[in-house]
């Protein structure tokens, strides 16, 4: 099911008067994975769609939605899918991809038929999806997690030692607008994307997973007017282009980051000094 309601973002100044529940209703996306279902929402963040598919005993086809205004979902969109569950398959216009945990599939504009399936219903695949508008078609591709470009950042001393794996980006899987990858924190490390940054050129969406029973606090807002959300595993924090996005957990974890906007330059960031945060 793709929900009819569009998740709309407030202006920066509107955060000041929002209650905890209003913040959660606006910036938090949960319950993405339901057995045998597709669950997704449209946002007004560069018209990105965020979703989850958890096939069990049969394949699940990507449906169209009236909000696309087109004959099929990817007629003028592109999509990235990263598996965070058991082994599965993605079938796209006659091509079939065997997708293990942490593998990524990119589906370009013009892909008509998309079906997600699990190899074992008792250990179902869980495909995390991001989609954004596109104006050019690139080749359909799958990338194994072992093939993703790794970047090591942070340090044990600052509790933010982590490895970034780039999948859909300028030096990897080519796309029109979408940028997508994942970050894994080393054991004993808890801070992500800190020191923090903003980038007015791109929206960013964080999907946190492999938290187990631990909890994570995700920080957002402008540097001098910050807010936070408490998240559990398999939950999403939406980040408008004017907002920071970083977090801290009670243990190490992983998260998938995805962006769309005016450029695909990964390190095009406006840094925020920790002492300037309020």
Taking residues 230-234, report their average pLDDT: 97
Q: Could you tell me if 8 and 47 are in contact, meaning their C-beta atoms sit under 8 angstroms apart?
A: no
Q: Could you tell me if 114 and 107 are in contact, meaning their C-beta atoms sit under 8 angstroms apart?
A: yes
User: What pLDDT score does 114 carry?
Assistant: 98
Q: Could you tell me if 223 and 244 are in contact, meaning their C-beta atoms sit under 8 angstroms apart?
A: yes
Whole-angstrom CA distances from 260 to 154, 170, 182 are 25, 13, 15
The domains found in the chain, sorted by start residue, are: 15-276 (2.60.120.10)
Taking residues 163-183, report their average pLDDT: 94
Per-residue pLDDT reduced to its tens digit, 201-214: 678 999 999 999 99
Q: Could you tell me if 75 and 108 are in contact, meaning their C-beta atoms sit under 8 angstroms apart?
A: no
Q: Is the pLDDT of residue 252 over 90?
A: yes
Per-residue pLDDT reduced to its tens digit, 13-57: 999 999 999 999 999 999 999 999 999 999 999 999 999 999 999
The size of the chain, in residues, is 278
Q: Which residues pair with 49 in a beta bridge?
A: 42, 131
Q: Label residue 272 by pLDDT band (50, 70, 90).
A: confident
Give the lowest-confidence range in 30-44, 138-152, 255-269.
255-269
Q: Label residue 236 by pLDDT band (50, 70, 90).
A: very high
User: What pLDDT score does 262 carry?
Assistant: 65
């Amino acid at each position: 099911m793709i929900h009819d309601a569009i998740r709309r973002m407030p202006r920066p100044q509107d955060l000041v008067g929002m209650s905890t529940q209003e913040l959660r209703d606006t910036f938090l996306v949960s319950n993405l994975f339901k057995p045998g279902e597709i669950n997704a929402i449209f946002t007004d963040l560069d018209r990105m769609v965020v979703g989850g598919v958890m096939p069990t005993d049969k394949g699940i086809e990507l449906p169209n939605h009236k909000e696309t205004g087109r004959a099929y979902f990817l007629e003028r969109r592109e999509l990235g899918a990263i598996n965070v569950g058991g082994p599965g398959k993605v079938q796209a216009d006659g091509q079939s991809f065997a997708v293990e945990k942490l593998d990524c599939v990119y589906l370009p504009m013009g892909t008509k038929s998309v079906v997600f399936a699990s190899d074992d219903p008792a250990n179902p695949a869980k495909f995390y999806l991001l989609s954004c508008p596109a104006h050019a078609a690139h080749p359909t591709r799958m990338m194994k997690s072992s093939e993703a470009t790794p970047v090591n950042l942070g340090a044990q001393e600052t509790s933010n030692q982590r490895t970034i794996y780039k999948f859909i980006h300028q030096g990897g899987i080519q796309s029109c607008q979408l940028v997508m990858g994942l970050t894994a924190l080393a054991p004993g490390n808890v801070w992500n994307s800190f020191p923090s940054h903003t980038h007015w050129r791109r929206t960013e969406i964080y999907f946190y997973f492999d938290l187990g029973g631990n909890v994570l606090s995700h920080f957002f807002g402008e540097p001098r007017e910050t807010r936070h959300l408490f998240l559990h595993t398999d939950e999403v924090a939406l980040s408008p282009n004017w907002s920071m996005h970083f977090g801290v957990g009670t243990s190490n974890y992983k998260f998938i980051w995805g962006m769309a906007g005016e450029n695909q330059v990964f390190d095009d960031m406006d840094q925020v000094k920790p002492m300037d945060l309020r």
